[in-house]
Amino acid sequence: MEGCKFLIPGSWFLVLGSQFLILGSWFLVLGSQFLVLGSRFLVLGSWFSVLSSWFLVLGSRFSVLTMPGISFDRAVDYYDATRGYPPGVAERLRDAIIAALELSRSAQILEAGVGTGRIAIPFIEAGYFYAGVDLSRRMMGQLRQKLDSRNQRVHLICGDVMHLPVVSSTFHAVVMVHVLHLVDDWRQVLNEAHRALRPGGALLLADDAHSDCDGAEYTPRTQVQRAWFAILDELNVPSDQRLDSAPHGLDERFQDHLQALGATVERTTLITYRQQPQTVRQVARRYQERMYSSCWILPDHIHAEASRRLQHWIDEQCPDPDTPRDAPARIDAMIARRT
């Protein structure tokens, strides 16, 4: 009898244990269902991630196709020959920019309108972190071909300088050379450059000054340029078909806008140098063959007539079209520091 007293509670515990075992099995089944459901959500999330990546890539491709501004794809084959600096000038310019902006070796630099790298390459070869943005994939392709495969601190982005594809407050310096006359809204470009700068960083706008150097009025470049503009005036070419009506050089409006953004602005001359010798006929041929962006937006029939008249000017009015002449030049800069 005494053993039965212990047997009955033991049975209760056995029944109770079996109930917990059943309950545990239910939770196990329920947990497995949640596990299956969770894995399905995980797979679904992965698909959405992949899909969003596809749309991001697709969107970036369409953004490249619809960008405003002027792409220099057509100028790749002759750009360096017509815009490049004489030997040693690019390196001197790099050193002058470093000194003017007081850049350390750890500085991160962004160039808007990097092109084939006439400004960028000396910085890259010196080991600086350099990012470049340009509309033209072909121009940046030329830059890539010039670089040693060991150069790992360069990042080239096909993008619009009016909407720089960079994080705000990232760079110690933003550099632009001969860009603002090519864009639809130069104010927006300056806004973007200012946004990309770290506090204390500097935007450098540089321009090759030719026309106001001593003896510039007699250089082949100046003679042809004046003749070409006079011909366009004769043909009554409207301003929207002439890039020469856009703000060029270091326009006072650039300084006013940058100061309105809160930047402190100064002007300086970076370097002086001698241009490569060239003849009037050589310079004129560049206009006739549409090597300059100012010729690209001219209607074909107007460009053809302007080229014919320019040839007549060379043959009949230019006193010496075939003597090569070098010319003095300098590179001026407007430096805007973000406060």
Per-residue pLDDT tens over the stretch 74-106: 878 877 778 889 999 999 999 999 999 999 999
8 Å CB contact between 102 and 201: no
**Residue 36, domain extent:** 1-66
Do 22 and 12 fall into the same domain?
yes
Q: What's 174's domain CATH number?
A: 3.40.50.150
Do 111 and 25 fall into the same domain?
no
Do 61 and 74 fall into the same domain?
no
Handedness of CA 51, 57, 61, 66 (dihedral sign): positive
Which of 66, 94, 116 represents a domain boundary (last residue)? 66
Kindly report, residue by residue over 279-303, the tens digit of the pLDDT: 999 999 999 999 998 899 899 999 9
Q: What band does 44 get if pLDDT is binned at 50, 70 and 90? A: very low
Do 253 and 118 fall into the same domain?
yes
* Cα angle for residues 7, 10, 12 (degrees, 5° grid): 115
Compute CA distances 222 → 146, 225, 283, whole Å.
Answer: 31, 5, 9
Do 227 and 150 fall into the same domain?
yes
- Residue 1: its pLDDT value, please? 44
Which of 33, 66, 99 represents a domain boundary (last residue)? 66
Phi, psi angle pair for 201, to nearest 5°: -75, 170
Do 74 and 214 fall into the same domain?
yes
Do 304 and 180 fall into the same domain?
yes
SS3 for 117-168 is CCCHHHHHHCCCEEEEEECCHHHHHHHHHHCCCCCCCEEEEECCHHHCCCCC
Q: How many CB atoms lie within 10 A of CB 9?
A: 9
Number of domains within the chain:
2
Do 20 and 160 fall into the same domain?
no
Do 109 and 28 fall into the same domain?
no
Of 74-83, 203-212, 218-227, 299-308, the least confident: 74-83
| Integer Cα distance of 204 and 173 in angstroms | 7
Do 327 and 233 fall into the same domain?
yes
Do 99 and 1 fall into the same domain?
no
* DSSP-based three-state secondary structure for 338: coil
Report the relative pairing of strands 328-337 and 264-274 from DSSP bridges: antiparallel
- Residue 242: its pLDDT value, please? 82
Q: How many helices (H) and strands (E) does the chain have?
A: 10, 7
Q: Is the pTM of this model over 0.95?
A: no
